């Protein structure tokens, strides 16, 4: 591949050149673009091999149903039986999916999802008050390490709880504007 | 005249006076007042006119069960009709208007209806407006609409916003009276997650309206201290102003929190109301009970109200409707009202007790065994006529009459899932039956325990049982001392012989109307409701249903439980449609999907169109172009002449991987896929199980075990869902994994004779995209400016064309790079209109042709349905009826007169045939003006169309006055051999 030319300037999901940051009350909403994502789905009959491959790559056991794990750089959350989303910094792992394919060696189907999702991180106190206006995921029962698929303003999203003061929302990238609007509206309503 | 009926005491804040207006007149009240209590304090009893007869009415109740005091609250866009003055919390600057009257509340011209009441008895609509039928829409309905009805809408958009939210708890306690408070305390101290919701702004229920003590505190003081304790506990969410409106499946409850209704306008960013969906493991219905009236002659005059309401106004709001009042009761609770009012200095004209053995008083007269036989006072009560036990009559002067016919437990939520309440003789009322919603128990007055002690005890007991189910050990609080008096009710529903004794004051239904319904054989309780309108409208008969049932039971010679109740349905109290809509309104009705080139397209002044939720550029107007056709014709012509670029990201992309990926696609598509070589794309047609065409697209084989399937924009979600269904349910033994990558890649079509030359400038130099190295239907990985990408040589326009994809974040950069590289070719960027024109010119089917009724055969792709393999829909596509000789076939049409159009939707007739459905030959599905051919063209389905090329048929559209001749031609207007694709 040729060197990166200087006219291939990436845009954020919200359309800017820099991630957007909004603060209202105790909550800061940040557009996060430095995330590479690969879906990792075990092949039929090779579930335990695939699980071992992923655990070795992550350096931790794979997350159980409804859970997420976070390492220094790598992370993963459960998305269905024997399937996960694997995350890493985009700057260092833009080719995350390509890295995983040879490791899996046919035990898992891996698909690049880097730009399929927009990601917004909510940081601060009172996040449960925000999320109870967004989705049925019971944030008050979360202590960190939970992940779920839910619907926010008609958008299918992943909600991943790092800890009660740091929650990540991943939604369809093309609707980043609508999702951002929904999040900001809930933050303003709650605080 | 300022608050002449205001008494001492009460739970109002006299340090916070508030001004408000009713019907344009200014008044003062206090914080803690409702609109009704403040008006009564100002000696205003007349608050509305009734629905049918426009009779003057005042508040019957002091709560959400109110049928009469219905007003339009606020003004302008925030005006809300049909709002109960009895629950409207007073705020400074509140304005309210009475409704259903003209020209004024005191003089209402439509009150003439009351004089004509003989004609307006139950069922009068059904009997009167039967004929002539044509009169209904033009004459009768407009008159009825004008005369009847409740408030009027502002017809302006609602300026407020509404949230929807989700709450979770171990125990939901519905109602914060003595029962609910005690139940919540029991559960909270035991460590359960508790939600305590009450519709009132002051929690405590009846405790706020009573003078007795609980423990060593006043009843209201005890309630306040308990609310204080509960509010401070982290495991309790205390929700005042929150009405639980419905009990739904699996312990889910709907609740409306009125966040800002007590404020002039909501705070910035805050909703007016929130519709909560509460997920509870257990729920306790502690909704209390509603007092019921007694029907007697002229029992609807302003000033006549429920005895408990009278007591609430005096005790809680320090407001009396009159200085001199009487009480009419069939139970001991009515006497409590008289005693409390007497203690507050209100003169008691007498207590009229239907029982001969009721209590007596030293402070005022009690007329035992007596009944109210009539009342007087045009716009407000002045006198009541009483028939004494000995048959003699007496007239009492009074401005208010408290009526108590006993209490009905509020069983509504217990019956929301069709569980029938059961009759309890000792209280002569229905209580929740056995079949409650899952996880719900009733307690306190809602279960028929009417004394305060009984309520407190019941709260603890029922909470303990609920905790037991949850596996939580109950930490039972000590019960405070409280009154434990029985109600001693003797059923008494109506005074005999009354001509106009109102049962349902909201709908003007009298005891006589029920008799008429019975006489005309509308004896089923549901028929009674529909025939008389008893129990309809905003109050849903909370004060009237029981009276109606009792009279029907009497007439039918049945018991009340034998007559039964109507079905209880959510919502418990009226709920604004805006609350149900939440944030999903106007531009937020649904999410917007933007393409990677959206920002660039906006910069070009593109005109956008919604496709599904996507905003796609429809065309890109240039300076001087005043009509869309100019832009579209230019985009089409320039693409065919040189090169055009189009954002095709919106087409669905589904990643299909696994050892059985090819086998899977062989099932999904009717044409074969097993042998598609790696690095090649194949067009595919998907059929539904019933053999009808579902969607078309391409599948690119990136590796032996890896395909990328494309779908049409509109069907992306449906196809993905279908594929998941096939994978999980039909062929779970295949090793195949699916994931959508629609959003992950920005994809552009580059089409036209100069497409390759343009692309060669854009892709990195190490990639050979010559015809030899990258032939038609090739696909592969590529890089653009060092960014990894994908290239597909596929064409929708019929030109030499490619689709090039990069990760979405580089989509904006790529469109700019393509446009810059295209300058030397005069490249255009084209929108969906030009895309549509070119595919019609090429004869490609799209959504208009894949319309859910057409088969592969109809589309001219019958031979694609491979018979050597089994694929979804292939067998049923062989059905006889789908394969008749005269089956519809997709063909092209051009007008015989080149100046004519070929409008889509027009139908085709054989020349000389009659124009009717029996002779219909087919229809046009897609049409456009072809700038390349210089006239309009169309494609569509014609019976045996493939054998009729050259025939002139008649194109008709009677509705749009189209009737001219078109020639049947091949659907492929441009390059029918496909030479351009392969150069």
**Quick one: A61 and A42 in the same domain?**
yes
Question: For B456-464, what is the mean pLDDT?
Answer: 98
- How many domains would you assign to chain B? 7
> What's residue B151's pLDDT?
82
Cα angle B759, B764, B770 (rounded to 5 degrees) comes to: 50
Question: For B222-226, what is the mean pLDDT?
Answer: 98
Of A1, A11, A186, the CB nearest to B783: A1
Question: For B214-232, what is the mean pLDDT?
Answer: 97
Asked if A123 contacts A184 with a C-beta cutoff of 8 angstroms, the reply is: no
State the pLDDT confidence band at B893, using cuts at 50, 70 and 90.
very high
> What's residue B568's pLDDT?
93
A11–B766 CB contact, under 8 Å = no
Q: In whole angstroms, what is the distance from residue B54 CA to residue B726 CA?
A: 63
Q: CA end-to-end span of chain B, whole Å?
A: 95
Q: Is 70 exceeded by the pLDDT of residue B119?
A: no
Q: Is 80 exceeded by the pLDDT of residue B716?
A: yes
Cα angle B620, B625, B628 (rounded to 5 degrees) comes to: 60
**Quick one: B538 and B684 in the same domain?**
no
In chain A, positions 14-53, which contact chain B (CB-CB < 8 Å)?
15, 33, 39, 41, 43-45
Element (H, E) at B888: strand B888-895
Half-sphere exposure of B478 (CA within 13 A, CB side): 4
Q: Looking at the domain assignment, is residue B844 inside a domain? A: no
Of A3, A9, A106, the CB nearest to B786: A3
In chain A, positions 91-110, which contact chain B (CB-CB < 8 Å)?
95, 106, 109-110
Q: Looking at the domain assignment, is residue B127 inside a domain? A: yes
B591–A155 CB contact, under 8 Å = yes
CATH number at residue B911: 2.40.30.110
- B728 and chain A: CB distance < 8 Å anywhere? no
State the pLDDT confidence band at B128, using cuts at 50, 70 and 90.
low
**Quick one: A125 and A168 in the same domain?**
yes
**Quick one: A43 and A30 in the same domain?**
no
Q: Is 80 exceeded by the pLDDT of residue B297?
A: yes
Residues of A in contact with B706 (CB under 8 A): 109
State the pLDDT confidence band at B562, using cuts at 50, 70 and 90.
very high
Question: For A121-146, what is the mean pLDDT?
Answer: 97
Reported ipTM exceeds the 0.90 cut:
yes
**Quick one: A153 and A103 in the same domain?**
no
**Quick one: B656 and B642 in the same domain?**
no
- B13 and chain A: CB distance < 8 Å anywhere? no
Residues of B in contact with A173 (CB under 8 A): 743-744, 808
What are phi and psi for residue B813, nearest 5 degrees?
-65, -40
Mean pLDDT over the full length of chain B: 95
Q: In whole angstroms, what is the distance from residue B558 CA to residue B563 CA?
A: 7
CATH number at residue A132: 3.30.1360.120
Of B583, B746, B764, the CB nearest to A153: B583
Alpha helices (runs of H) in B791-922, residue ranges in sequence order = 811-822, 832-842
Cβ partners under 8 Å of residue B49, min gap 6: B55, B56, B57, B98, B99, B100, B101, B105, B108, B110, B111
Name the nearest CA neighbour of B220 among B288, B310, B316, B311. B316
B744–A39 CB contact, under 8 Å = no
A115–B739 CB contact, under 8 Å = no
What are phi and psi for residue B237, nearest 5 degrees?
-115, 110
Of B168, B659, B743, the CB nearest to A140: B168
**Quick one: B759 and B800 in the same domain?**
yes
Total length of chain A: 191
B788–A1 CB contact, under 8 Å = yes
Q: Is 70 exceeded by the pLDDT of residue B146?
A: no
- A7 and chain B: CB distance < 8 Å anywhere? yes
> What's residue B145's pLDDT?
65
Strand locations in B410-535, DSSP E? 422-424, 429-431, 440-442, 502-504, 509-510
- A184 and chain B: CB distance < 8 Å anywhere? no
Residues of B in contact with A181 (CB under 8 A): 588
CATH number at residue A59: 3.30.70.1400
Q: In whole angstroms, what is the distance from residue A170 CA to residue A33 CA?
A: 11
Question: CA gyration radius for chain A?
Answer: 17
**Quick one: A176 and A120 in the same domain?**
yes
- Give the tens place of pLDDT for each residue, B156-209: 999 999 999 999 999 999 999 999 999 999 999 999 999 999 999 999 999 999
Of A8, A135, A175, the CB nearest to B787: A8
Residues of B in contact with A110 (CB under 8 A): 657
**Quick one: A95 and A30 in the same domain?**
no
Of B599, B705, B736, the CB nearest to A15: B599
Task: Identify the closest residue of chain A to B595 by CA–CA distance.
Answer: A174
Kindly report the three-state secondary structure assignment for every residue of chain A: CCCCCCCCCCCCCCCCCCCCEEEECCEEEEEECCCEEEEEEECCCCHHHHHHHHHHHHCCCCCCCCEEEECCCCEEEEEECCEEEEEECHHHHCCHHHHHHHHHCCCEEEEECCCCEEEEEEEECCHHHHHCCCCCCCHHHCCCCEEEEEEECCEEEEEEEEECCEEEEEEEHHHHHHHHHHHHHHHHHHC
**Residue-number span of the structural domain to which B713 is assigned:** 652-740
- Give the tens place of pLDDT for each residue, B736-749: 999 999 999 999 99
**Quick one: A87 and A135 in the same domain?**
no
B733–A44 CB contact, under 8 Å = yes
Q: Looking at the domain assignment, is residue B664 inside a domain? A: yes
**Quick one: B43 and B150 in the same domain?**
yes
Q: Could you give the percent of chain B with pLDDT greater than 90?
A: 91
Residues of B in contact with A95 (CB under 8 A): 788
In chain A, positions 137-156, which contact chain B (CB-CB < 8 Å)?
137-138, 140-141, 153-155
- Give the tens place of pLDDT for each residue, B795-842: 999 999 999 999 999 999 999 999 999 999 999 999 999 999 999 999
Which of A96, A112, A128 is a domain's end point?
Answer: A112
Residues of B in contact with A142 (CB under 8 A): none
**Quick one: B142 and B166 in the same domain?**
no
Of A5, A44, A115, the CB nearest to B807: A115
A44–B658 CB contact, under 8 Å = yes
> What's residue B122's pLDDT?
72
**Quick one: A87 and A127 in the same domain?**
no
Q: In whole angstroms, what is the distance from residue B397 CA to residue B417 CA?
A: 47
Of A3, A155, A189, the CB nearest to B163: A189
* Best residue in B612, B616, B743, B804 for a mutation probing chain A (most A CBs within 10 Å): B743
State the pLDDT confidence band at B442, using cuts at 50, 70 and 90.
very high
Mean pLDDT over the full length of chain A: 97
**Quick one: A30 and A44 in the same domain?**
no
Name the nearest CA neighbour of B229 among B179, B181, B284. B181
Task: Identify the closest residue of chain A to B744 by CA–CA distance.
Answer: A116
Question: For B470-485, what is the mean pLDDT?
Answer: 96
A11–B817 CB contact, under 8 Å = no
Task: Identify the closest residue of chain B to A33 by CA–CA distance.
Answer: B809
> What's residue A6's pLDDT?
86
Q: Looking at the domain assignment, is residue B846 inside a domain? A: no
> Please, is A115 exposed, middle or buried when counting C-beta atoms within 10 Å of its C-beta (0-12, 13-18, 19+)?
buried
CATH number at residue B114: 3.10.20.440
B807–A173 CB contact, under 8 Å = no
Q: In whole angstroms, what is the distance from residue A106 CA to residue B660 CA?
A: 12
In chain A, positions 57-76, which contact chain B (CB-CB < 8 Å)?
none
Q: Looking at the domain assignment, is residue B852 inside a domain? A: no
Which of A78, A112, A146 is a domain's end point?
Answer: A112
Q: In whole angstroms, what is the distance from residue B29 CA to residue B554 CA?
A: 45
Question: For B460-473, what is the mean pLDDT?
Answer: 98
> What's residue A72's pLDDT?
86
**Residue-number span of the structural domain to which A131 is assigned:** 21-34+116-190
**Quick one: B280 and B423 in the same domain?**
yes
Q: Looking at the domain assignment, is residue A43 inside a domain? A: yes
- How many domains would you assign to chain A? 2
- Give the tens place of pLDDT for each residue, B387-437: 999 999 999 999 999 999 999 999 999 999 989 999 999 999 999 999 999
Q: Is 60 exceeded by the pLDDT of residue B523?
A: yes
Instruction: Centre a 10 Å sphere on the Cβ of residue B201 and count the other Cβ atoms it contains.
Output: 15
CATH number at residue B520: 1.10.10
* Best residue in A4, A34, A109, A155 for a mutation probing chain B (most B CBs within 10 Å): A109
Which of B345, B375, B403 is a domain's end point?
Answer: B403
């Amino acid at each position: 591949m040729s060197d990166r030319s200087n006219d291939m300037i990436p845009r954020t999901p919200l359309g800017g050149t820099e991630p957007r940051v909004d603060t209202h009350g105790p909550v800061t909403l940040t557009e996060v673009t430095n995330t590479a994502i690969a879906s990792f789905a075990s092949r039929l009959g090779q579930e335990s091999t695939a699980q071992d491959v992923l655990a070795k790559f992550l350096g931790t056991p794979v997350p159980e149903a409804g859970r997420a794990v976070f390492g220094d750089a790598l992370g993963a959350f459960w998305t269905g039986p024997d399937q996960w989303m694997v995350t890493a910094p985009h700057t260092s792992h833009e080719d995350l999916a390509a890295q995983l394919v040879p490791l899996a060696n046919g035990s898992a189907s891996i698909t690049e999802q880097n730009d399929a999702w927009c990601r917004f991180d909510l940081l601060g106190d009172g996040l449960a008050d925000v999320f109870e206006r967004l989705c049925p995921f019971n944030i008050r029962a979360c202590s960190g390490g939970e992940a779920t698929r839910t619907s926010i303003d008609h958008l299918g999203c992943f909600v991943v709880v790092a800890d009660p003061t740091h929650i990540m929302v991943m939604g369809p990238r093309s609707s980043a504007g609508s999702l951002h609007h929904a999040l900001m509206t809930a933050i303003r309503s709650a605080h | 005249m300022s608050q002449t009926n205001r008494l001492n005491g009460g739970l109002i804040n006299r340090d916070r006076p508030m001004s408000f207006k009713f019907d344009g007149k200014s008044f003062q009240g206090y914080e803690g007042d409702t609109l009704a209590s403040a008006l009564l304090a100002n000696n205003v009893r007349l608050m509305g006119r009734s629905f049918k007869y426009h009779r003057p009415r005042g508040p019957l109740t002091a709560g959400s069960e109110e049928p009469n005091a219905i007003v339009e609250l606020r003004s302008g866009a925030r005006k809300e009709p049909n709002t109960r003055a009895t629950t409207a919390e007073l705020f400074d600057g509140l304005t309210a208007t009475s409704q259903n009257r003209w020209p004024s509340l005191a003089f209402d011209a439509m009150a003439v209806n009351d004089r004509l009441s003989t004609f307006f008895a139950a069922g009068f609509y059904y009997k009167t407006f039967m004929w002539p039928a044509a009169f209904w829409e033009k004459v009768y309905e407009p008159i009825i609409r004008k005369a009847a009805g409740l408030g009027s809408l502002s017809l302006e958009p609602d300026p407020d916003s509404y949230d929807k939210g989700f709450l979770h708890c171990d125990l939901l306690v519905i109602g914060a009276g003595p029962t609910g408070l005690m139940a919540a305390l029991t559960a909270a101290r035991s460590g359960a997650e508790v939600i305590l919701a009450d519709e009132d702004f002051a929690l405590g229920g009846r405790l706020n309206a009573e003078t007795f003590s609980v423990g060593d505190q006043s009843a209201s003081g005890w309630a306040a201290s308990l609310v204080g304790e509960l509010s401070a506990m982290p495991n309790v969410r205390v929700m005042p102003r929150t009405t639980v409106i419905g009990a739904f499946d699996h312990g889910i409850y709907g609740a409306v929190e009125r966040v800002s209704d007590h404020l002039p306008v909501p705070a910035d960013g805050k909703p007016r109301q929130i519709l909560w969906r509460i997920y509870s493991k257990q729920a306790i219905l502690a909704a209390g009970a509603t007092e019921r009236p007694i029907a007697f002659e002229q029992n609807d005059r302003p000033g006549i109200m429920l005895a408990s309401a009278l007591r609430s106004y005096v005790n809680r709001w320090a407001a009396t409707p009159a200085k001199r009042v009487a009480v009419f009761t069939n139970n001991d609770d009515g006497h409590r009202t008289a005693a409390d009012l007497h203690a507050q200095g209100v003169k008691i004209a007498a207590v009229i007790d239907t029982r001969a053995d009721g209590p007596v008083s030293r402070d005022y007269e009690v007329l035992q065994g007596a009944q109210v036989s009539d009342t007087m006072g045009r716009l407000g009560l002045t006198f009541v006529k009483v028939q004494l036990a000995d048959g003699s009559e007496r007239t009492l002067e009074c401005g208010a009459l408290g009526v108590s016919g006993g209490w009905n437990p509020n069983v509504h939520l217990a019956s929301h899932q069709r569980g029938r309440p059961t009759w309890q003789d000792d209280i002569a009322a229905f209580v929740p039956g056995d079949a409650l919603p899952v996880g719900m128990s009733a307690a306190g007055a809602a279960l028929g325990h009417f004394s305060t002690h009984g309520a407190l005890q019941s709260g603890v007991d029922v909470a303990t049982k609920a905790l037991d189910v949850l596996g939580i050990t109950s930490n039972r609080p000590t019960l405070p001392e409280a009154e434990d008096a029985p109600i001693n009710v003797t059923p008494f529903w109506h005074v005999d012989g009354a001509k106009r004794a109102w049962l349902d004051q909201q709908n003007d239904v009298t005891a006589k109307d029920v008799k008429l319904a019975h006489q005309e054989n509308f004896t089923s309780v549901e028929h009674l409701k529909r025939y008389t309108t008893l129990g309809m409208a905003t109050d849903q008969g909370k004060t009237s249903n029981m009276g109606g049932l009792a009279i029907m039971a009497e007439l039918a010679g049945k018991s009340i439980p034998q007559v039964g109740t109507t079905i209880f349905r959510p919502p418990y109290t009226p709920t604004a449609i805006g609350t149900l809509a939440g944030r999903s309104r106007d531009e937020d009705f649904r999410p917007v999907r933007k393409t990677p080139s959206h920002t660039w397209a906006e910069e070009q002044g593109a005109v956008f169109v919604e496709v599904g939720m996507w905003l796609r550029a429809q065309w890109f107007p240039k300076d001087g172009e005043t009509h869309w056709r100019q832009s579209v014709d230019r985009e089409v012509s320039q693409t065919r002449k040189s090169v055009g670029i189009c954002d095709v990201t919106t087409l669905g992309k589904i990643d299909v991987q696994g050892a059985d990926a090819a086998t899977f696609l062989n099932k999904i598509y009717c044409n074969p896929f097993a042998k598609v070589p790696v690095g090649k794309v194949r067009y595919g047609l998907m059929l539904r199980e019933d053999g009808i065409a579902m969607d078309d697209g391409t599948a690119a084989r990136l590796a032996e075990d890896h395909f990328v399937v494309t779908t049409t924009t509109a069907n992306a979600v449906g196809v993905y869902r279908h594929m998941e269904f096939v994978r999980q349910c039909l062929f779970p033994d295949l090793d195949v994994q699916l994931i959508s990558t629609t959003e992950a890649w920005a994809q552009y079509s580059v089409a036209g004779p100069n497409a390759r030359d343009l692309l060669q400038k854009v892709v990195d130099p190490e990639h050979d995209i010559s015809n030899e190295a990258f032939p038609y239907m090739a696909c592969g990985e590529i890089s653009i400016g060092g960014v990894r990408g994908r290239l597909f040589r596929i064409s929708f326009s019929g030109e030499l064309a490619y689709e090039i994809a990069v990760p979405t974040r580089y989509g904006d950069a790529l469109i700019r790079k393509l446009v810059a590289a295209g300058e030397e070719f005069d490249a255009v960027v084209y929108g969906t209109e030009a895309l549509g024109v070119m595919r019609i010119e090429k004869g490609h089917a799209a959504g208009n042709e894949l319309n859910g009724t057409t088969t592969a055969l109809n589309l001219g792709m019958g031979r694609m349905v491979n018979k050597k393999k089994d694929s979804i829909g292939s067998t049923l596509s062989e059905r006889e009826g789908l394969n008749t000789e005269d089956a519809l076939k997709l063909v092209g049409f051009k007008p015989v007169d080149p100046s004519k159009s070929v409008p889509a939707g027009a139908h085709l007739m054989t020349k000389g045939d009659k124009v009717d459905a029996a002779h219909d030959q087919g229809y046009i599905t897609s049409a456009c003006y072809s700038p390349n051919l210089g006239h309009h063209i169309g494609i569509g389905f014609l019976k045996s169309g493939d054998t009729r090329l050259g025939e002139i048929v008649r194109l008709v559209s009677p509705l749009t006055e189209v009737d001219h001749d078109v020639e049947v031609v091949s659907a492929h207007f441009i390059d029918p051999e496909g030479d351009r694709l392969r150069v």
